[in-house]
């Protein structure tokens, strides 16, 4: 079944700087379960893109297979989307990005789609530092096939049917750090105040950005004993606070007291200000990030916030040294070498 959303705007809704209303960033009505964490993430994406004043058609949204991967239909209807095959979104995103470096690429995936069947592609897209934002809607289970444990389910976590997971969990944040992702964050679908600014910052990052969003499955994994339930995550959420980032074009600048904030100058020209709430935390330092992540794990906490940020990273196009013009905009005259060249080639094989 599909529903059409009414085209009614709230009288107070405002156009953003590119002339779009927030509703222009919405998609069709979700068919996920009521209360699904994924829907909150979809609406955070809508809010983030609206606030960033992205022209929707200049963003491409991609996904694999699973509950999470259905969501591209539920946000950004004016963007082209690609709901690909299970675990293979990164390769499709890579090809798309190679074809047109000017678009914004937003990939959404799930814990099954990324940490199991798609593990290979996930690791390699990080290595290549593809300029994209990769969001995992992480609920620790396979929803569409009725609640089997996924590879991110914590050891000892209890499923709705009462069985206990005996296998070690794969922590995608730790993995992304190890693999050298330039932007690594974790958030919680229930904390929009944290999630929206993280998505905004991730989209602005000129390279691979990864956000692992704990997103409880209300139907199969929200029970007592589950470590991915709303209650559990709220109780164990250890937040690294960051301020809303301020792009250069915005004139408003949030001031922080000396000593409580750290300003990072990014090579795309924008500034990122980070509140040093946790003493000694420097998201620009890989060692600190890895250590904090480990500590938090040992303490049974779920570390959320911007965990690591590399201020200067070379994306795939710079590594490949491709022309600035998107490859899909090159014309026949740019691409066909001509008859004289062909004659030369013939000669070299005679």
**Residue 110 interacting with another protein (CB under 8 A):** no
Rounded to the nearest 10 degrees, the angle between the axes of helix 89-99 and helix 119-127 is 30
d(CA 239, CA 304): 5
According to CB under 8 A, which one of 16, 23, 77, 288 is a site residue for another protein? 77
Q: Pick from 16, 23, 53, 83 the residue near another protein by CB under 8 A.
A: 83
Interaction between residue 73 and another protein (CB under 8 A): yes
Binding of another protein by 345 (CB under 8 A): yes
Asked whether the beta carbons of 194 and 158 are under 8 A apart, the reply is no
Is 121 a binding residue for another protein by CB under 8 A? The answer is: yes
341: contact with another protein by CB under 8 A: yes
Q: Contact with another protein (CB under 8 A): which of 16, 124, 284, 311?
A: 124
Contact 201, 264 (CB under 8 A): no
271-275 and 261-265 strand pairing: antiparallel
Residue located via tokens 């389910």: 153
**Which residues, in sequence order, are CB contacts of 219 under 8 Å at separation 6+?**
33, 36, 143, 147
Phi, psi of 339 (to 5 degrees): -75, -35
Candidate list 29, 33, 85, 170; residue touching another protein; CB under 8 A: 85
Site for another protein in 238-277 (CB under 8 A): none
Residue 317 near another protein by CB under 8 A = yes
Q: Is 55 in the site for another protein (CB under 8 A)?
A: yes
Among positions 40, 79, 133, 152, the unique one binding another protein when judged by CB under 8 A: 79
Our CB check for another protein shows the closer of 224 and 335 to be 335
Using rule CB under 8 A, residue 7 touches another protein: no
Q: What is the DSSP letter of 148?
A: E
User: Residue 340: how many CB atoms within 10 A of its CB?
Assistant: 8
CA distance linking residue 104 with residue 89, whole number of Å:
15
Residues that bind another protein (CB under 8 A): 2, 28, 55-58, 60, 62, 70, 72-73, 77-85, 88, 90-100, 102-103, 120-121, 123-124, 128, 316-317, 320-324, 327-328, 330, 332, 334-337, 339, 341-342, 345-346, 349-350
């Amino acid at each position: 079944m599909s529903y059409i959303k009414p085209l009614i705007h709230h009288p107070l809704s405002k156009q953003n700087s590119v002339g779009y209303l927030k509703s222009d960033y919405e998609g069709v009505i979700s068919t996920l379960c009521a209360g699904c964490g994924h829907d909150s993430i979809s609406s955070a994406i809508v809010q983030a893109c609206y606030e960033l004043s992205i022209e929707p058609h200049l963003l491409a949204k991609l996904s694999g297979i699973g509950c999470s991967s259905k969501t591209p239909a539920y946000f950004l209807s004016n963007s082209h989307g690609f709901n690909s095959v299970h675990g293979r979104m990164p390769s499709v995103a890579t090809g798309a990005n190679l074809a047109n470096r000017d678009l914004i690429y937003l990939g959404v995936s799930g814990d099954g789609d990324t940490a199991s069947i798609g593990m290979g592609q996930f690791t390699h897209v990080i290595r290549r530092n593809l300029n994209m934002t990769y969001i995992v809607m992480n609920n620790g289970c396979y929803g569409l096939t009725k609640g089997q444990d996924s590879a991110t389910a914590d050891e000892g976590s209890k499923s709705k049917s009462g069985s206990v997971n005996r296998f070690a969990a794969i922590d995608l944040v730790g993995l992304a750090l190890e693999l050298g992702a330039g932007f690594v964050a974790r958030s919680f679908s229930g904390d929009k105040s944290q999630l929206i600014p993280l998505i905004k910052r991730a989209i602005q990052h000129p390279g691979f950005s990864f956000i692992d969003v704990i997103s409880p499955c209300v139907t199969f994994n929200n029970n007592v004993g589950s470590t991915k339930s709303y209650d559990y995550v709220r109780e164990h959420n250890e937040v690294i606070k960051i301020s809303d980032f301020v792009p250069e074009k915005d004139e408003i600048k949030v001031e922080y007291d000396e000593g409580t904030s750290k300003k990072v100058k990014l090579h795309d020209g924008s500034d990122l200000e980070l509140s040093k709430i946790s003493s000694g935390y420097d998201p620009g330092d890989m060692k600190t990030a890895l250590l904090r992540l480990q500590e938090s794990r040992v303490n049974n906490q779920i570390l959320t916030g911007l965990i690591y940020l590399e201020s200067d990273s070379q994306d795939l196009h710079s590594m490949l040294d491709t022309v600035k013009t998107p490859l899909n905009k090159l014309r026949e005259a740019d691409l066909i070498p001509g008859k004289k060249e062909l004659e030369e080639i013939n000669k070299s094989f005679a």
